[in-house]
Amino acid sequence: MNPMAKASVLVAAGSICLSLIIALAKILHKYWWTPLRIQHLMSSQGITGPPYKFIHGNNKENIRLRQEALRNPMPDFSHDIFPRVQPHVHSRISSYGKNHLGWIGVRPRLIITEPELAKELLKSTEGVFPKRTSRERKEKDDFAIKILGDGLVTSEGEKWAKHRKLANHAFHGESLKGMSPAVIASVETMLERWKPFQGKEIELFEQFRLLTSEVISRTAFGSSYLDGKKIFDILTKLSVITNRNFFKSRFPVISKFWKTADEIEADKLAKEIHKCVMEIVKKREEKLTNDEDNNFGTDFLGLLLNAYHDTDKNKKFSEQDLVDECKTFYFAGQETTSSSLAWTVFLLATHPDWQDKARQEVIEVFGERNPNPEGIGKLKIMTMIINETLRLYPPVTGVVRKVEAETKLGNLILPPDLVLFVSNLALHHDPDLWGDDANVFKPERFAEGIANATKRNSSAFLPFGLGPRSCVGMSFAMTEMKMTLSMILRRYDVSLSPSYSHSPFTQVNLQPQHGIQIMLHGIDM
């Protein structure tokens, strides 16, 4: 080799070495130095937690705790579900306190289970503690984003405000009243399906999944469950993938160039959803192309389409906005409500005294008639029962925010990129907030309203969140649940089947792991 060639080989080798050293330094900075610095910063403010482990954080320990907790069903239908559903939070409160630090891989998480801090966080003005940091929005590397896209649940800033306004319009006041016939028709279809099960066992979680899918399809999208079926199926597959990967560590460099089978599958499913949503959109567009005002309807899909076709740049929604918002509402409008309905019927089946009281109230308010929006407002006992169910079995067991730039919360100075996790479940089961009977089903706690039940500590009860990002579908969900339960109670007495196994767990939302098996006994009225 001539001296010139030798020199260029040496230069090339030198620059490769330098690049490797820089890459190694970056990895060490991100995966070792930064976590240790944050750990030190937080502990100097009294916030401690299990030590950070290189790359994995606390993932391995969290997976072990979860597997142990889910190994067996819970005895005696106990409502003390916090240790089973969030073992990684529950087990650490006694060692590290109600607010403590944990690690999902390299991401630090401040776990908040104290109501005052939760309130300050959730009530803070939009933008200070966003749902996703701007870095994350660019990277889009989260599995949950495949489910929700950049829709209302995850978006920020002006985009969020514009979309929230539209959703508020679709799911409040007069619009809600107009949805009642579609809800009643969907419940009637479900009750028709139940007829062959009189005197027999029926699994209810799947039944309520079908019902809530039908309700959101009819009310928000003006179509039948069958039109949205493929979307629901894909969303369920994505929930399973999201759940499976929650505590999985991502390895530096490799994860940038190599996708796991789950990542490839999730990308494929996200593309399929896009296609399915656009098919539903096309159907609506074709149906209304002759409409002179170019008005695509007043339901949620109609409002979205009007915005999609708006010529005003400030009001216009892009195709991706349209798809993300549709999948957000297909998912958020269905999973949570079906879970709540299933747990409510489980509690009524195991508390026949409350079941009788609720039935009596339904008969007093509606007599032989189907429920209507005016009567729904009068169902006091039913509201108490649903609230107590949402306390013990909140479908959303925790809410997440992020720190974008260094900021203060309470007395704490929080570093950028810190994840803030408020455990609703911990707050709802805390004996310091609810008394020694915190794990007992006692709807009478809510007899004088939510404010009295929580002793005016508004953040002790957070089933629908709090502050500007609280649930936009709350009234819709409460109305749907009350109508459904009223119609069931008038026709059936429910008791628990001996085959039921009490196994609450989370698959994005809180669910019964093996379903809810109920015995249906027809009532002659």
Residue 17 known to bind ligand: no
Q: Which position's Cβ is nearest ligand HEM?
A: 473
Stretch that binds ligand HEM, among 178-186, 235-243, 324-332, 367-375 (CB under 6 A): 324-332
Toward ligand HEM, which CB reaches closer, 252 or 467? 467
Toward ligand HEM, which CB reaches closer, 97 or 468? 468
Q: Is 465 in the site for ligand HEM (CB under 6 A)?
A: yes
Toward ligand HEM, which CB reaches closer, 115 or 395? 395
Toward ligand HEM, which CB reaches closer, 73 or 465? 465
Among 133, 186, 328, 484, binds ligand HEM (CB under 6 A): 328
Report the alpha-carbon distance of residue 2 to residue 503 in Å, rounded.
74
Among 111, 144, 426, 472, binds ligand HEM (CB under 6 A): 472
Q: Is 317 in the site for ligand HEM (CB under 6 A)?
A: no
Q: Are 355 and 349 in contact (CB under 8 A)?
A: yes
What number of other Cβ atoms are within 10 A of residue 71's Cβ? 8
* Residue 186, strand partner residues: none
Q: Phi/psi of residue 464, each to 5°?
A: -110, 20
Smallest separation (angstroms) from ligand HEM to the CB of 420: 11
Q: Is 477 in the site for ligand HEM (CB under 6 A)?
A: yes
Report the alpha-carbon distance of residue 131 to residue 401 in Å, rounded.
5
456: left (phi over 0), alpha (psi -120 to 50) or beta: left
Q: Identity (one letter) of the amino acid at 523?
A: I
Q: Which residues inside 148-167 make contact with ligand HEM, applying CB under 6 A?
A: 152-153, 164, 167
Among 346, 476, 492, 500, binds ligand HEM (CB under 6 A): 476
Which of 494, 136, 242, 187 lies closest to 371 in space, CA to CA?
187
288: left (phi over 0), alpha (psi -120 to 50) or beta: alpha
Q: Are 283 and 241 in contact (CB under 8 A)?
A: no
Toward ligand HEM, which CB reaches closer, 61 or 480? 480
Among 65, 176, 202, 399, binds ligand HEM (CB under 6 A): 399
Toward ligand HEM, which CB reaches closer, 171 or 232? 171
Q: Identity (one letter) of the amino acid at 325?
A: E
Number of residues that bind ligand HEM (CB under 6 A): 25
Report the alpha-carbon distance of residue 483 to residue 365 in Å, rounded.
12
Q: Are 307 and 317 in contact (CB under 8 A)?
A: yes
Report the alpha-carbon distance of residue 452 to residue 122 in Å, rounded.
21
Interface residues with ligand HEM (CB under 6 A) are: 152-153, 164, 167, 171, 328-329, 332-333, 336-337, 340, 395-396, 399, 463-465, 469-473, 476-477
Annotated binding site for heme: which residue ranges? 471
